Amino acid sequence: MRAQSGWSLGIAAWLLGCVYVNAQEVRSPVDSPPLTVAELRIPAATAYLDPLSNDIEVMSDGVVNWSDPSVKVVWFGELKKAGALECSVALRLPAGAQSKLRLTVAGQTREATAKGTSEGLVAARFSPFEIAEVGYQRFTLESLNGAANSAGIVKALVVAGPASQGAHFNLKPRKNAASVHLSYPVPEGHKVEAFYCEVTAVEDPLWTYYMACGWHRGYFGMQVNSATERRIIFSVWDSGNEAADRRKVQSDNRVRLVAKGEGVDAGDFGNEGTGGHSHLVFPWKTGVKQRFLLVAKPADETHTIYSGYYFLPEQQKWMLISSWNAPKDGAYPHGLYSFSENFGGENGHLRRKAFYGNQWIRDSEGRWLELTTAKFSHDATGRADRFDRYTGVENGQFFLSHGGFIPGYTEAGQSFVRPAVGKAPGDILGLSEGMAPAVK
């Protein structure tokens, strides 16, 4: 979870080059009897459960322990041709057993029964579906075996026929939606003393991190941790090259906690680089604008103090989340960016969308400058596995959308410009009056 952040899914992935690659067709191996034409096999390991279940497992070997008929097994794919679509489901069933299944595609429902053999590998074949329109389709598999009987081990969904030609599915077991990013170029000659950004969540699935203020040493944003807990997170990386275990980081490479706000938890993080982590458990609201402010103050030529301030909406005042002294730095923030991340893949089929607006910096001369340009990028998952990720300008703000298996695709490297607001945060939020003391 982002309580210990997912930098490897954030800025590290942002630095990767991103190229649109068409997924290639994969022919079915021997454990799935052949259909009438070339097949595309979609492993069960890529499927989602609807609803999530603690008893049924989606593993590399398939969907196992499926004895609850209220839980559906779901795949998503983009069909690029209309016409007939043949579908079967590869199963492992013991000899003498049988499994009755229902598959729904494009509003059409078919039923089929598979009977176990001594080899154990069988297929439930459904009558063809007719695909009238191209685009994303949901493949919903239901068990009709009753609560007392297992549906068998589901190995794969197999599709064929004219409508399957050129189809794209995610064929990898990593089911997270692609992480998506916006980078904000800063005019030359300005040293960034403060970075301000507003974020408004439109969707709020579990395991979502909407990051507002990112820079070369850390990140600051809001997270959905569970059905009952949300967090404001501010974290800063150590110096050095340790990737996982902070206990291995020498003291002169460690960021040091300087101060933290009331109710804020602070500690270590690892496994994505290492550093100092802090979070405030806080019920931020979807649909309500959230305001974040990063402040930097070089302590000397080799150290910089980074502070994260969050604006409490109900109290209409800023609070300090935490401040950290970062060694081997002494610089001002650079590489400013925001991102949206799905850090738990079990619900990677759900859409995540947020608005990112009113970005400003304050330079070392005390001048506020508005940032109205953003460049889009995505992680490695967005390169060839998940294309349901895009950005743009809406209602005067940038937005990021990923997941949902819905239309929308943006090439990496595209830049967008939003209309200027024209009112600096110091004017509209009282920063110049000292509500965030470190900015003064």
Spatial separation of the C-alpha atoms in residues 151 and 69, rounded to whole Å: 9
The whole-number pLDDT of residue 149 equals 81
CA distances, 348 to each of 52, 136, 205, 207 (Å): 12, 15, 9, 9
Instruction: Look at 20-34, 221-235, 300-314 and tell me which has the smallest mean pLDDT.
Output: 20-34
Domain ranges of the chain: 7-17+175-439, 40-164
* Selected residue with higher pLDDT from 4 and 230: 230
User: Residue 431: which pLDDT band, with cuts at 50, 70 and 90?
Assistant: low
User: Residue 438: which pLDDT band, with cuts at 50, 70 and 90?
Assistant: very low
User: Residue 118: which pLDDT band, with cuts at 50, 70 and 90?
Assistant: confident
CB 91 within 8 A of CB 122: yes
pLDDT digits (tens, 9 = 90+) for 220-253: 999 999 999 999 999 999 999 999 999 999 999 9
Among 43, 45, 49, residue whose Cα is nearest residue 31: 43
Residue 28 clears pLDDT 90, i.e. is over it: no
- CATH level 3 topology of 40-164: Jelly Rolls (2.60.120)
The whole-number pLDDT of residue 69 equals 94
Q: What is the pTM of this model?
A: 0.89
pLDDT digits (tens, 9 = 90+) for 333-375: 999 999 999 999 999 999 999 999 999 999 999 999 999 999 9
* Selected residue with higher pLDDT from 177 and 4: 177
User: Residue 35: which pLDDT band, with cuts at 50, 70 and 90?
Assistant: very low
Residue 420 clears pLDDT 90, i.e. is over it: yes
Among 45, 57, 76, residue whose Cα is nearest residue 173: 45
Mean pLDDT of 184-213: 97
User: Residue 34: which pLDDT band, with cuts at 50, 70 and 90?
Assistant: very low
The whole-number pLDDT of residue 87 equals 98
* Selected residue with higher pLDDT from 316 and 341: 341
* Selected residue with higher pLDDT from 10 and 334: 334
Mean pLDDT of the chain: 90
Please list, in sequence order, all residues whose beta carbon lies within 8 angstroms of the beta carbon of residue 241, skipping any fewer than 6 positions away.
none
**Cα separation of the two ends of the chain:** 34
The whole-number pLDDT of residue 98 equals 94
* Angle value at C-alpha 263, between 5 and 281, nearest 5 degrees: 45
Mean pLDDT of 419-434: 72
Mean pLDDT of 53-59: 93
The whole-number pLDDT of residue 37 equals 53
Counted residue by residue, the chain has a size of: 440
pLDDT digits (tens, 9 = 90+) for 258-277: 999 999 999 999 988 999 99
Residue 5 clears pLDDT 80, i.e. is over it: no
Residue 81 clears pLDDT 80, i.e. is over it: yes
Residue 322 clears pLDDT 80, i.e. is over it: yes
Give the percent of the chain with pLDDT over 90.
Answer: 84
> Do β-strands 72-79 and 135-143 pair in parallel, antiparallel, or remain unpaired?
antiparallel
CB 255 within 8 A of CB 305: no
